[in-house]
Amino acid sequence: MRQVHKPASNTQDAIQRRHLLGGGAAGMLWAIGVPAQAQADFPNRPIKIVVPYSAGTGSDAVARTVAQGITDKTGKPVIVENREGGGSLIGTMAVAKAPADGYTILIAANPMAIVPASQSQPQYNPARDFAPVAKVGVIPLVLATTPSLGFKSVRDLVAHAKANPGKLSYGSSGAGTISQQEMELFKQAVGIDIPEIPYKSTAQAMTDLIGGTLSVFPVVVPLVAQHIQSGRATGLAVFDVRRSQLLPDIPAISEQVTVPGYTPTPVWYGFVAPAGTPAAIINALSTMINAAMDTPEAKTRLTALGAQRINFTNEQFLNDLRSEYEKAGALAKKLGTYK
C-alpha cells in the first residue's frame, strides 16, 4: 500500500510569496504562524516509514514494530512501504527527495553510510541530506568459524592466518555491506590476509561454513546463534564493544583486539527524515519512536532478533553517520572499489 502525500513545497512557496508581497509585521506573522500551527498538529495524517529492503528483514521488523507502537499510542495510522533495490539506494533516495514535513521517514542501517561512500559522485550524503531522528538498536555480527579449524579464540585465528597468509577465506554479502566492511577493518587492524568470497545468499555461506569449505563468516547473531549452540559453528567474538544478550559467553571483539584506531561497528537501526525537517517535528517523531521501542511488545521482538536497545542523542547519531561514511570511503579506496 502506498500513501500519496501532497508536497509541502506548495505551502512554503505560498508563504514566501505572501511575505514578499505583503511585507511588514502582519505578513511576517502570517508566514510564521502557518508552519507553527502545522507543527503543533503533527501528526494529523498518516506517517510513512520507507524500508529500503524487502519484507522480513531486520529493518522491516523494526519498522513494523515502531509503526504499530505509534499507531497504538496516537491512534494515527503509520504505513510501512518496502522499496528495495540498489543496496538500499532506491528507498533511501525516495526519502531524500520527499517533502521535509515529517510524514515520510526512512528506517536506516549501516548501508545508508556505506553505499554512497564508494562513489566519487554520490547521489546523497548521509550526514548532509538527512536529519537524524532516533537511533534505536544494534545487532552485532559474530566472527564465526568452521569447527574443523579448532579455533577457540580470536588469537587462534590471527596466529593461524599470519602463519598461513591467504590460506583461509571469509564469506561476505559483497561490496558495500557491513559484513565486508567489518571484516576488512578487522584484517587491517590485526595485520592478516584472509581473502573474501562474496555470497548472494547468507544461507549458502552458512552451509559452507558448517561444511568446512568456508573458514570464516561474519554474520548477525540471530542467523548463527543456533548453529553455535549446536556446535556446528564456532563463535570467536562479536563485532561490538559489549557482548550479545543471545550469546553472552562469546566475548566482544574489543575484549580481545586492542589496536589504536580500531573500533568495531555493529549492525545498527535508526530513523532519519529529509534534511530541513523542522526541529519541532523531529522532536515529536523522536519521542514517538522511542516510546514505541520501549513497549513490552517491542522488547520481545528485539530479543527475538538478537538486537539490543540503544538510545543515542541525535547529535551522536549524526557524528556516527559522518564517521562511518568517512571510514567506508577510506576502505573503498583501499580495496579498489571506489568508483
CB 19 within 8 A of CB 27: yes
Q: Mean pLDDT over all residues of the chain?
A: 87
> Do both 55 and 166 map to the same domain?
no
For residue 79, pLDDT beyond 70: yes
Instruction: Residue 207: give the domain boundaries.
Output: 141-255
What pLDDT, in 10s, does the model give residues 3-55? 333 333 333 333 333 333 333 333 333 333 335 555 668 999 999 999 999 99
Between CA 166 and CA 209 the distance in angstroms is 17
Q: Which of 88-92, 163-167, 281-285, 332-336 has the lowest mean pLDDT?
A: 332-336
Instruction: Report the 10 Å Cβ neighbour count for 256.
Output: 16
Find the Cα–Cα–Cα–Cα dihedral 58, 59, 63, 64, rounded to 10°.
-40
> Do both 155 and 249 map to the same domain?
yes
Between CA 313 and CA 107 the distance in angstroms is 16
DSSP structure string for 231-296:
TSSEEEEESSSS--SSSTTSPBGGGT---TT-----EEEEEEEETT--HHHHHHHHHHHHHHHTSH
> Do both 155 and 221 map to the same domain?
yes
> Do both 212 and 326 map to the same domain?
no
What pLDDT, in 10s, does the model give residues 274-302? 999 999 999 999 999 999 999 999 999 88
- Backbone φ and ψ for 330, nearest 5 degrees, come out as -65, -40
Domain total for the chain? 2
- What is the residue type of 275? A
What CATH number is associated with residue 173? 3.40.190.10
Cα-Cα end-to-end distance for the chain: 36
The x, y and z cell numbers of residue 6, run together, are 501532497
Q: Is the pTM of this model over 0.85?
A: no
The x, y and z cell numbers of residue 123, run together, are 547521489
